[in-house]
Amino acid sequence: MLQIFLQGFAVYFIIWWMTLFAVLPIGLRTQAEDDDIVLGTVPSAPTRFRAGFVFSLTTLISALIYGLWYVCDTYFGWGFDALPQLGPSFY
């Protein structure tokens, strides 16, 4: 039981981490866009980082993706083993 939970958590964490990098630029305003460049920073630095928004949106989207993966794997049998083999087979 613990092994199944840890495997599910590992898959969710990987999905969450990849989704984080897709969500980070959503709604981002740079200092150059706001004409408020702080001395010593690059103009492309964000004006303010909204961590709560980014982390909650990442959690929501990754939960939906994980739920879709879980349904496909559990009910339809479309897991990682069903993906086509991309490399050559040596065995």
Higher pLDDT, 83 or 44: 44
Mean pLDDT (whole number) for 15-43? 93
- Tokens (6 digits) for 7: 């495997």
What was the pLDDT predicted at 91?
67
Closest CA to 21 of 49, 69, 52, 54: 54
Per-residue confidence at 56, pLDDT binned at 50, 70, 90?
Answer: very high
What was the pLDDT predicted at 71?
92
Over the stretch 41-50, which tens digit does the pLDDT of each residue have? 999 999 988 9
Residue 30 phi/psi, 5-degree rounding, is -85, 165
Domains of the chain, by residue range, sit at 12-75
Mean pLDDT of the chain: 89
